[in-house]
A and B are shown apart, each in its own frame.
Chain A
């Protein structure tokens, strides 16, 4: 079964600090892609960062970076210099066929 687990339902971080969100997944595919989406109170899901499973180098997008451990099927998101606008639900996902499998989400609150 294709599953995505996010073990932290809620997290908080002080503004300007660094926070790491955890994600593990289970897939039978060999080539796949992993994603982190952000859903702010406006409700629109926004793609934060994307990782190709066959690439060993961790993806980075400005203040957002991932720690991809393929053997462990782990894909954590690190947010550096957290900003108030980072407050949102964060969903980890991977593509499977013509679909995505999403995790249950982590609610991140950035505190002033």
Chain B
């Protein structure tokens, strides 16, 4: 049990499809994050949620749409993606945003391939 669970583990989708990534944490954390990990590039922060409210959108294209219905669940809705969006999408959580100095707990990611 990692504490942060991401589903699906792998996803292949066409450019016209609509799909969603799911992240769930059972740690009682209040802040959740989406990161994109591409080959040979540093991890890129996409979105930050604190107490269900989005506090940061790191200039992410609108074809990525996050949703945080409660502090335990985070979704990333995908539509009309491009092949360059293929990457590992990691979810993370922390007790609260100000506690980032204690590090995050990460999930195992969703490997997304856009064809």
Contact = CB atoms under 8 A, between A and B. Distances in A.
Q: Are A and B associated in one complex?
A: yes
Contacts, number: 59
Q: Which of A45, A50, A104 gathers the greatest number of chain B CB atoms within 10 Å? A: A45
B81 interface: no
Interface string A80-103: 000000000001000101111111
Interface majority SS on A: helix, strand, loop or mixed? strand
B107 interface: yes
A21 B71 CA distance: 36
Nearest to B96: A98
A50 B109 CA distance: 22
Interface residues on A, range: 20 to 34
Contact of B43 (A46, A50, A52, A91): A91
Nearest to B100: A95
Contact of A44 (B55, B102, B109): B109
A33 interface: yes
B62 interface: no
11 contacts: A4-B42, A42-B108, A43-B88, A45-B92, A46-B106, A47-B105, A98-B50, A98-B98, A99-B45, A102-B43, A104-B42
